[in-house]
Amino acid sequence: MSYKKKLLKNLVNLPGWHTNRKLVVFESDDWGSIRMPSRKIYELLISKGIPINKHYFLKNDCLESETDLTALFDLLIKYRDSNNHNPIITANAVVANPDFDKIQNAGFREYHYQLITETYLSYPDHAGVLNLWKNAGIEGRLLWPQFHGREHLNTRKWLRALNSGIQQERIAFENKVLLGLNNTGHSDSEYMAAFEYRNQEEMIEIESIVADGLDLFNRIFGFRSRSLMPSCSVQGDHLNEVLMKNGVVYNQSGQHYIPAEGGKLKLINYFWGHRNKLNQIYWRRNCTFEPSKNQDYDWVNSCLGEMKIAFRWGKPAVINSHRVNFSGGVFEENRTRTLEKLNLLLKSMLKTWPDIEFVSSDELGDIISGSTS
């Protein structure tokens, strides 16, 4: 870790709430969301000249399969913390994806969605994903879902992109791919931030989408999400009341962006334990484990170094690690190499700090709020 990075990490971990406990939280975004369906379609889009090989999400990110979950769970159950708990990954999940057939039948003028339960059934080796997730992931407290959005795209921007004449968007649509690339010169091509808006009308629509999504989350997983991680870390304050009314009292995105005038984004920095006017609590991620981004980088020692700094200042180690890292649907070696590194990371952190405690994001919120000792 460079001197500059180490200095910044120390400064970020200084302010706000602190604890003597060595808490470890894995926060993993994008579960349930589609991106690249298969290796075959990846190669097809490459042959069409779409530069997806330069974007590691589009190269590696695929809807989680039974094989992905089984491989992850088999690793997690090998380890236990000082409370005899396995590592638990907070899976920030969406509950719906675009219904491509209905959108096409509507002439690309209307947005329609399908629940992730339907999406899983449309992919090979995915029919049993939700049962596996519920039985081993939720009941076994290995993969704990929290709310990431109804779907991982801005529906209005995506429809505008589809109707803009950009050829790569129609090719992607025909193959049920979400691109979200910024290589077209068209601002609507960057549509992955679900809660971004341009005007009052779009703000109100997003509030309705969030309320709908939270109800669907309860319907699919059997309980209400108590925390939020907004997709692409974009969220306006207007959503806070909707979130509170629907049971969301914690926000994982202390560092986030608020839509501003002219389509720009304003950076907001809230530190540990910050409370807004509704008493919702914020925290932020201070460690990174993203092997899919660069498998040659030493993510294990880098993450351990960040954990050391966090614990020095009495902060939990909140580890950012997206779903793409655990996905093998496009390139199996992406998942295999990540799990090898995760195995080493877990082994090393337990050896270095035998008293660490694995907790989920909503459990961290309870600890910060003082409702759990």
Task: Render pLDDT for 60-109 as a digit per residue (tens, 0 to 9).
Answer: 999 999 999 999 999 999 999 999 999 999 999 999 999 999 999 999 99
In this prediction, what percent of the chain has a pLDDT beyond 70?
98
Task: Render pLDDT for 28-65 as a digit per residue (tens, 0 to 9).
Answer: 999 999 999 999 999 999 999 999 998 999 999 999 99
Q: Tokens 């407290």 — which residue?
A: 141
CATH domain 3-369 topology: TIM Barrel (3.20.20)
Domain-wise residue ranges, the chain: 3-369
pLDDT recorded at residue 373: 43
Q: Is 105 helix (H, G, I), strand (E, B) or coil?
A: helix
Task: Render pLDDT for 132-159 as a digit per residue (tens, 0 to 9).
Answer: 999 999 999 999 999 999 999 999 999 9
Please enumerate, as own/partner, the contacts of 14-18 that have beta carbons within 8 Å and a separation of 24 or more: 14/313, 15/271, 15/272, 16/271, 16/272, 16/273, 16/274, 16/315, 17/272, 17/273, 17/283, 17/368, 18/272, 18/313, 18/314, 18/315
Q: Report yes or no: 208 and 241 within 8 Å, Cβ to Cβ.
A: no
Lowest mean pLDDT among 163-172, 175-184, 227-236: 175-184
